[in-house]
Structure 1
């Protein structure tokens, strides 16, 4: 689910072994600064000092379906209001990226960032996006018309430099899908584009990405809107967890077929937390580990050994290879009893866009609501949104 939504690991050049990389920020909080409260994130901290904010970002580089590569990556960013003289980038600010706030011209290379800005009412500040696969009709039309530059999606390739520089952004929110893209970070900075990494893909809990809406709120002058959004999601999640807890616990399997006898299985971390908070026992549960992906590759034999008695099965998503072997499916109780689901709701085929990969990342309450309805028929008092009954897998 969310880890598949967050399909690639965001990384930053700072702290890697490349000698051209900027020095890592000092360890520990900046001196004389007050930390601002962010309840969920484990990949950034925000401090306030002398009228400006300091953002420290730190996260492991996690390969999809695998493990973290190398050391945690770090960056320090200074958010200085435009109506004040910026602090000197020296001492504990040496090597930091300076962003003047509120930012007015924003470039992104990931559709989730478009969704964050949309929730803040700041999507009109976009000057560059990854491409034309946005679920948001207005943003997609602007990209197709050429009004928005296209810099390439972070999960495919490093940013396209010419359209990015040509868009003249005040801020480039950058997600990279591969360590090999990191060398482009310093080049972009050297060309005068202020770059800030976003590590929401490395958050170990599903509420972590929601706090990134708060971070963007600080950058755009939309703090009140961000706070209201975060509180709404928090309240919905708390209510859904309490509601699910009134129901009998169900056994669940979340695994989609990747081909060649291998499945991508929800095993730990943020995806598993969603299942457990819906009052489910994940039969493929592995210990949480922030340096391992939430999803793990497993063979059909392992599923047969451990998950035959699952009450419900999330069997398919947009990445799935078709699986139609009834001789295998018939071994699973969930398939025989018709509790098989797919996480492929809110899809616009003409745009090849799934909202689960955009808004779904910052609306875990909608995902949790779908899971509670899937697992507990007595709670099916509203339509499914992202996770819905599977209509493509063969029926018993």
Structure 2
């Protein structure tokens, strides 16, 4: 009897129409991710490749069925890749529970809903009416991505550096609707007070610890968003959900859709680059000036993982960690000078090889293999803003820099990096 019942259930599952699910893993398109999707994929391999090729090997087969079986619990979690915040949406019940990067708890509640009793949690009504923030990401970047006036309406104070990167906020600043609350390291507390913030969102810097202490003394609610410290690029993109939750269910749903779109685009790039015949040795580093020490991403940093995901061989995979670290010049030069691809992140407007040598006259870059072969790339000054504002474009740049031969225009149409000629 049990076997007959099981077969009956499987038969019913097989009759579910094949439509594109809104989220990766929702193979049968029923709005949820569960064992039914595993069974459906087992029975139907003719689904679109962006839906069914979950292991990104450019085919849909039993390996994808197994992959989904092992991962469907993870796929249906509200936060999949980000490690520095927790989120538990209950929008149908009128609220969303959020824990930020410092463990601060918040219950974001619709205007007419009743807040659940969660010990130690701060209750905020959504959409939040007044938000101040010190960094571009994730609050302002999410507002720019969603491009919704109701999101911008809630942002009342930002740091001076943020204004130049958001045309809409810059316009509102000129109209007197947004205040300049200082810089990323120094806050104008009197201006913050005048904005009457419901919440001030800070980052991970040590100076922000001091800001939090002072704001707490002033009775102002603080949240900490370590959006730049995640181990994966998709995790960084996922911070849009955290920001959007402050604006309620509609904004949250839009942010989640954007995240899913970004995830699918990343998987498409993985499928393209898996056809590479070789794994080029790749160096990625930051160098402020000619005399400054190079900083390189550690092996579990999101830059390093992007390179490895796109069939590159990151030159410092032996240095564990998710952050960046200074590296002695001798070790750096030994690996970087012979690398196939070199990606320099910097803050000046460098467009040519001569510009590079003018900026770093004693670097020895002209002797690098990548410099000679035309595989030396330099970031545009505001690349880090576009990582948050257009993460899909940034991922495309990385795939093209690592394997230009796999794209129709090669590496000649990069958005946020420059191929030095």
Task: Return the TM-score normalized by structure 1.
Answer: 0.74
Aligned to 2:199, which of 171, 174, 187?
A: 171
CA distance in 2, matches of 1:160, 1:195: 15
Does the C-alpha gap of structure 1 residues 361 and 84 become closer, same or farther in structure 2, counting only changes over 3 Å? Answer: same
Residue 99 (structure 2) aligns with? 56
Does the C-alpha gap of structure 1 residues 308 and 190 become closer, same or farther in structure 2, counting only changes over 3 Å? Answer: closer
Answer whether contact 1:252 1:281 (CA < 8 A) is retained: yes
Aligned to 2:172, which of 142, 161, 169?
A: 142
CA distance in 1, matches of 2:366, 2:226: 40
Unaligned runs of at least 5 residues, structure 2: 1-75, 349-355
1:278 paired with 2:304, answer: no
CA distance in 1, matches of 2:368, 2:245: 48
Answer whether contact 2:100 2:223 (CA < 8 A) is retained: no
Displacement after TM superposition at 1:312 (Å): 1.4
Displacement after TM superposition at 1:51 (Å): 4.5
Does the C-alpha gap of structure 1 residues 316 and 223 become closer, same or farther in structure 2, counting only changes over 3 Å? Answer: closer
The 3-state SS of whatever aligns with 2:171 is helix
CA distance in 2, matches of 1:80, 1:47: 12
CA distance in 2, matches of 1:387, 1:215: 28
Residue 78 (structure 2) aligns with? 37
1:340 paired with 2:376, answer: yes
Answer whether contact 1:131 1:143 (CA < 8 A) is retained: no
Displacement after TM superposition at 1:136 (Å): 2.1
CA distance in 1, matches of 2:384, 2:336: 27
Give matches, 1:148-163, under 5 Å: 148-154=178-184, 156-157=185-186, 159-163=187-191
CA distance in 2, matches of 1:103, 1:242: 40
Number of positions where the alignment pairs a residue of Structure 1 with one of Structure 2: 323
Residue 47 (structure 1) aligns with? 88
Answer whether contact 2:157 2:180 (CA < 8 A) is retained: yes
Does the C-alpha gap of structure 1 residues 57 and 163 become closer, same or farther in structure 2, counting only changes over 3 Å? Answer: same
Relative contact order higher in (CA < 8 Å, ≥ 6 apart): 1
CA distance in 2, matches of 1:371, 1:170: 38
CA distance in 2, matches of 1:300, 1:370: 27
Unaligned runs of at least 5 residues, structure 1: 1-34, 59-72, 348-353, 392-396
CA distance in 2, matches of 1:278, 1:196: 34
Aligned to 2:295, which of 237, 253, 264?
A: 264
Answer whether contact 1:128 1:164 (CA < 8 A) is retained: yes
Q: Deviations over 1:310-336 (max 9, x none)?
A: 11111352169921247x334421112
1:125 paired with 2:154, answer: yes
RMSD: 2.6
Q: Deviations over 1:55-107 (max 9, x none)?
A: 2234xxxxxxxxxxxxxx4222221222124345xxx522x322111213222
CA distance in 2, matches of 1:285, 1:190: 44
CA distance in 1, matches of 2:292, 2:227: 31
1:93 paired with 2:119, answer: yes
Q: Deviations over 1:337-370 (max 9, x none)?
A: 12111111xx6xxxxxx2x332413643322211
CA distance in 2, matches of 1:47, 1:311: 44
CA distance in 1, matches of 2:366, 2:218: 58
Residue 320 (structure 2) aligns with? 288
Residue 140 (structure 2) aligns with? 114
Answer whether contact 2:165 2:385 (CA < 8 A) is retained: yes
Q: Deviations over 1:254-290 (max 9, x none)?
A: 1243443621223322110011122111112234324
CA distance in 1, matches of 2:366, 2:77: 53
